[in-house]
Amino acid sequence: MLKGIIFDFDGVLIDTEMPRYLAWKSVFEGCGASFSMEQWQLGVGTGPTAFDPAALLLEITKGEAIIATTQAHADQLALDLVKKQPLLPGVEEFIYKAAQAGVKLAVASSSSREWVVGNLERIGLYSVMEAVCTAEDVELVKPDPGLYQLALQCLGLTANDCVAFEDSANGILAATRAGIKCVAIPNPMTANMDFSHADGIVKSFHEINLEDLL
């Protein structure tokens, strides 16, 4: 019987991937440089160790870009865009149905705690999550299984008790390496990724029947 659901945040609950890409694209263009979607995809579902746009811009500008300032500017631009984004289709109904059914809910994200918690509070979903695990909580982010293992620990559940929802290849690998069945929900940013490790693929939460999962 399903006892817990663990969600990735970016691109699963709300589309933050495209706004974050567009924010960095704007920052690069402001420095006279180009920035492709393919470059941004290198870091989707993982952390800056895989791809750090601020470090790339520093290299392109030969040290003229200031990483801290650049990062803060990109984060603010992204947040301004994300605030205009609705929850992804079916998310709110699915989450509240699961909570009412007594299923424990958690978020496991490679993003920062400030970003994830701040946005969860803004969209009204923080209070229904029993655990929120972010980059600051583990040594290695996805595709390492550490975030999912920590989420299981926080929920007091085993991998067999849970299902995960992810939008990226890195996220799916993290969940499956933790022994958790994972459903992929691709979005425009991740649609061309390898989802062969997923246990299922759906277009949105509208396609998921909670009763069947239970």
The reported pLDDT for the residue numbered 167 is 96
Asked whether the predicted pLDDT for residue 48 surpasses 90, the reply is no
- Spot the catalytic one: 10, 15, 144, 167: 10
Give the pLDDT band (50/70/90) at residue 69: confident
Q: What is the mean pLDDT of the chain?
A: 93
The reported pLDDT for the residue numbered 103 is 97
- Spot the catalytic one: 8, 15, 144, 167: 8
Average pLDDT for residues 26-34, to the nearest whole number? 91
Asked whether the predicted pLDDT for residue 119 surpasses 90, the reply is yes
Asked whether the predicted pLDDT for residue 67 surpasses 80, the reply is no
Q: Could you confirm whether 167 is annotated as catalytic? A: no
pTM of the model as a whole: 0.90
Average pLDDT for residues 66-74, to the nearest whole number? 81
Give the pLDDT band (50/70/90) at residue 214: confident
Q: Give the closest residue to 5 by CA, choosing from 67, 91, 69.
A: 91
> What strands, in cross-sheet order, belong to the sheet with 162-166?
131-133, 104-108, 4-7, 162-166, 181-184, 200-201
Q: Could you confirm whether 80 is annotated as catalytic? A: no
Average pLDDT for residues 57-77, to the nearest whole number? 83
Q: What are phi and psi of 201, to 5 degrees?
A: -135, 130
